[in-house]
Structure 1
Amino acid sequence: MVRNAIDMHAHWVPPVVANALRQRHGNVPRIETLPDSTERLVMPIGTLNFNDGHTDASLRLKQMMGLGVSRQMLSLPGLFGIDSLPFDQAMPLVSAFNDACAELCKAHPDQFCGLAALPLASMDASVAELRRARLELGLLGAILPVDAFRNEATAARLKPIFKEAESLGAHFFVHPGRMPDSGPLPDAPPDHDLARRALAVQHEVGEAMVTLLLSDFLIPWRNITVQVANLGGTFPAVVERMDHMLALRDPSRALPSTRARVVWVDCASLGSRALEQAVAVFGADRVVLGTDCPIFDAARTIAGIEKSQLSVDDQTLILHGNAAKLLGRLF
C-alpha cells in the first residue's frame, strides 16, 4: 500500500461549475444527458463520460484513502475548453471554480490544495485573477495550456502572468489545452482515433517542453516553479536525437539534455517504461506523481511506479518527497 503519496495532477469540477455546463445547451463545452440517463462532457475535441467522480469531494477523499494518497493538487483541465472560451463566458466559470476550489482546500487543508483557472482571452483579467487566487483565495498558482508554449512568440504573451507570479511566488502547471485564439485541433482520423489522439497530445506537450527548456523564457523567474504534464510528452523519447543533431550541425549550442532539469514533470497516464526513461533524462528528483484523476486510472499509475525498476528511494521521491518540497515553498 502506498502511504502519504502526493498527487500533483488531479482534476475536480465543482458542482456549481458542472451545473453551469449543463445549461450550455448546444455550446461547447457542455454536459449533456444521454438516453440511458448517464452524462457526458462534450469538449472542443471528443467527449468524456461524466459522473460523481468528477464532482463529489467526499467520494474523492474515500478514493484517495484507498490508494494511500494523502493530498491532491486540484485543477480545472484545459482540454475541457473552459479557460479558452471568450472572456464573457470564461470569466464566470473560472472564478466559480477558483472560489469553490479554495473553499474545498480550506475545509480540507491537509488533503487538498489547488491551482487557479484563468480567463485566457484577457491577459489583464488573467493577471488580476491570479493575484486574487494567490492572495485572497490561497491557491498556489495556475494551470496553463501547452498551446501557449508552442513557440517562443506565443510564450511571450504570457509574460504579464509570469511577472505577477514572480512577485507572488507561484507554481504553474503546464497541461494539455488551447489558447483562445488557436482554434480547435482537427478531429483524429477515424482509424485508431484514441491512439492517434494520445500521440497528438504527447507531441503538443513535447513542443511546449522545447520552448520551456531550450529558450530563455524561464530564466528571469526565480520565484516560480513549473510542472509539465505527462512526463514532458515526447521530449524524453526524442532528446537523444536532438542532442545528436545539434552535436553534428550546431555544436556551439548547448545540448538539449543539459537543459532538462529546468522544470518538473508528472507521470500522469503513463507507465513503468516511460517513467524509467523520464527519470534517466530529468532525474528522479524532477518527477512527481500525477494520476490525472478522475479521467485516468489512478491505481494503475501508482502501480506503474511501484512496478518500475527504479530504486525504493527514487520511488519515494516521486510519490512524496519532490512534491512535498515543491508545495512547502508555497505555504
Structure 2
Amino acid sequence: MSRLFPVIDLHAHWFPPSTLDILGRRAEAPRIGPQGEGLAIWRTGAGAGKGGAFPLGPQWYDVDARLAHLDAVEIAHQLVSWPTTLGVDAALPAEKTLDLWTQWNNDTSALVRRHPDRFSAVAALSTSDLAWSARELARGHEKLGLIGGVLPVNGFFSRASAEQFRPLFEVAQAHRSHIYLHTGFANPVIAGQPPNLVYEDNDAIRWVIDNGFHFASAVTTLAFTDFLAAFPDVTLQIAMLGGSGLGALAAEQAEVSPRIQAGPLRQHFRQIWLDTGAAGSGTAAVAAAIRVLGSERVVFGSDYAPLPDIRPTLQRVRAATAHDPDSQNAVLSSNALGLLGRHDGLSERLLSHKDFTS
C-alpha cells in the first residue's frame, strides 16, 4: 500500500482586496457590494438566479480564516484560481476587465510568495483579448511564480471554439502550463459556445443539467479530437468531474460503442485530470469516474470559498474510495503532488510542509 500523504486541494478560489475594490466600484452587475452584514456579488446570465446575488463570506478574502480552516480539516496545500462561474469575463469587454485580471494575478502571486508551502495558483485570463492572455500567461510563469491559467469550460464546448485558443496554448506548451477549465462561459467574442440560457422555471436544476452537458462536451473536445496533439506538455484539469461524472461515462460509451471505435480510454486522457469540485463531489459520481478512467485521472477539489466548509466534500470523496487506500491516496494527494511537482520548486515547497515530513 502507498504511503498516505496529506490532502492537496486543487479547486479553491479567493478574492484579494483589489477584486473587492474594482468590482465594488461598479454600479451594475457584475459587481460586489454590501448585503446585510456581509458582501455579495451580483451576476448576470445562466446560473445567476433571481436577482443574481451570491453571498461572499469571509472565507473568500480572509487569508487567516482560510489557513485556520485548512489546518482544521488537514489540507496541506491549495491550488487557487479565479472563479469563472461568476461570469465577469463573459459579461464585460476587455477594456473593463484587464486591470481586474492583472491585479488578481499580482495579488495572488504575493499570496503564494507569503505562503509558499500552502498555496500555488494559476493566472486569471481574459477570453475577450486572447493576445493579452498569451502575454499574461507568460508573465505568470516568468515573473509571478504561477503555474498556468484558468479558463471557462464553455470556451472548449466545440472544436471550433477551442481552435480560437490555439495561440494561447502555444504559450502554454512553451511553459508546460497547467490549464484549469472551470464552470462558465467565455466572452461572446468566442464563437462555437453553447447558448447562454436563462430559464424562467427551476433555473437552478436546469443549470445543473446544462452545466453537466457543457463539461462533458469540453471533455469530448479535449479527449476525442486532436486539438491537444500539438501541446503534449500541457496538463488539463477539468472541474466538477467533467460534468458530475457525465464526461467519464460518455468516454466509457466511446470505448465500448461499436459506432465510435475510440480505442482504449487511457490514451485519450493522458493529459487530462478531473477534479471533485462541488457539482462533481457526489460519492457515486466519484466512484464512477474512478471506475471508468482509473484513480490516476481524478484529483481532489473542494470548491472552497463558494463552499465555506471542505469537510462534506472530503467525506464524500473518502467514502467513494474507502475500499481502496491506494486509490484514495492517489485522488487526495499523490496525483496532485505529481501535477504540481512538474513546476520549479513546487515539490520541495510541498514536501517541506510539516504534514508531509511528520
Q: TM-score range by the shorter chain?
A: over 0.9
Give the TM-score, by structure 2 length. Answer: 0.85
Decide whether aligned partners of structure 1 residues 323 and 54 sit closer, same or farther in structure 2, where only a CA change above 3 A counts: same
Tell me what 1:7 maps to.
9
Whether contact under 8 Å (2:157, 2:214) holds in the other structure is: yes
Distance in 1, Cα, partners of 2:291 & 2:129: 39
Contact in 1 for aligned 2:283/2:316 (Cα 8 Å):
yes
The CA deviation string for residues 186-209 of structure 1, in whole angstroms up to 9 with x for no partner, is 223423x32222222121111100
In structure 2, distance between residues paired with 1:123 and 1:258: 29
CA distance in 2, matches of 1:264, 1:106: 26
- What secondary structure sits across from 1:219 in the alignment? helix
User: In structure 2, what is the equivalent of residue 97 of structure 1?
Assistant: 104
What does residue range 271-310 of structure 1 map to in structure 2 within 5 Å? 271-296=282-307, 297-308=309-320, 309-310=322-323
Deviation at 1:258, TM superposition (A): 5.9
The yes-or-no answer on 1:71 pairing with 2:41 is no
Per-residue Cα deviation, 1:223-243 (whole angstroms, up to 9, x for no partner): 211111111112123334444
CA offset at residue 257 of structure 1?
Answer: 7.5
TM-score (norm 1): 0.92
Maintained 8 Å contact 1:43/1:79? no
Structure 2 match to 1:30: 31
The question of whether the paired residues in 1 share the 8 Å contact of 2:269 and 2:297 is answered with no
Q: Which residue of 2 aligns with 1:60?
A: 66
CA contact (8 A) 2:5 2:334 kept: no
Cα contact 1:31–1:41 (8 A) shared by 2 = yes
| 1:187 has 2:194 as partner | no
Aligned AA (2:37): S
Q: 1:239 to 1:286 in 2, by over 3 A?
A: closer
Q: Determine whether 1:263 maps to 2:275.
A: no
Gap change, CA 1:295 and 1:211, over 3 Å in 2: same
Q: Secondary structure at the match of 1:103?
A: helix
Q: How does 1:1-331 map to 2 (within 5 A)?
A: 4-26=6-28, 28-34=29-35, 36-45=36-45, 46=48, 47-84=53-90, 85-181=92-188, 185-191=196-202, 193-233=203-243, 234-243=246-255, 246-247=257-258, 249-251=259-261, 253-254=262-263, 259-269=268-278, 270-296=281-307, 297-308=309-320, 309-331=322-344
List gaps (5 residues or longer) in structure 2: 345-358
State the SS of the aligned residue for 2:54.
strand
The residue identity in structure 1 corresponding to 2:103 is A
Indicate the percent of aligned positions where both proteins have the same amino acid: 29
Change (3 A) 1:314 1:254: closer
RMSD value, Cα: 1.9
Label 1:92 to 1:16 Cα distance change in 2 as closer, same or farther (>3 A).
same
Query: Does the Cα contact within 8 Å between 2:265 and 2:293 map onto a contact in 1?
Result: no
- Mapped to 2, the partners of 1:99 and 1:291 lie a distance apart of 24
Q: Aligned-pair distance for 1:261?
A: 4.1
In the TM superposition, what is the alpha-carbon distance from 1:287 to its structure 2 partner?
0.7
Unaligned runs of 5+ in 1: none
Distance between the aligned counterparts of 1:272 and 1:222, measured in 2?
A: 31
Letter in structure 2 aligned against 1:300:
P
Secondary structure, aligned partner of 1:120: coil
CA distance in 2, matches of 1:257, 1:263: 10
Give the SS at the match of 1:209. Answer: helix
2:254–2:260 CA contact under 8 A, matched in 1: no
Structure with higher RCO (Cα < 8 A, 6+ apart): 2
Partner Cα distance (1:176, 1:151) in 2: 15
How far did 1:73 drift? 0.4
Q: Distance in 1 between matches of 2:127 and 2:72?
A: 36
